[in-house]
Structure 1
């Protein structure tokens, strides 16, 4: 029973990474859309919001890593790998979109 509860808690944490990382990535692309139109105030606001969701996802990832203590205590699952993929692609999107927004900003100046 305790094992089942722990697995459910782990699954909730992993889903939190997926949801927050996905939200961050979506907001980054919304920001890019605003930048394309020259609305940099909205682009900056979306990027700030995206950073919040990215921090939330990264916080959960850090908690899971700390709980494992590098000892392989936590059994890896496909959904955990999926969550890591979401987190990494959202980080990459944030970095690339930040650069693209700056390019649009300098083009419009």
Structure 2
């Protein structure tokens, strides 16, 4: 993979992972205000952004699987860290929204 394509994949991971986390944070703020349906819509948007991040990651993994060396850099490690944090944050946000929904229903 040429350097430009590699950088585009890495930046895709960072951008889409960041977008995922931002949508989840907005979802939590909405749930806190009792706007559960709006919060769930934000989670749907977060999931779409997460799919885009996974597309970037899958490209890199596929390249490696084909035997093409992917150079590991601090930027790539940083991007992977963003992705893992976004996934964890999304999972926790979903759980918290369910809790807010239960509290609202009582």
- Give the secondary-structure state (helix, strand or coil) at the position aligned to 1:75: coil
Gap regions ≥5 residues in structure 1: none
Matches within 5 A, 1:1-109: 6-69=2-65, 71=67, 73-109=69-105
Deviation at 1:70, TM superposition (A): 7.5
SS in 1 for 2:98: helix
RMSD of aligned residue pairs (Cα, Å):
1.4
Q: Give the superposition deviation at 1:63.
A: 1.4
Q: TM-score, normalised by structure 1?
A: 0.92
Whether the aligned pair in 1 keeps the contact of 2:20 and 2:49 (CA below 8 Å) is yes
Runs ≥4 in structure 1, deviation > 4 angstroms? none
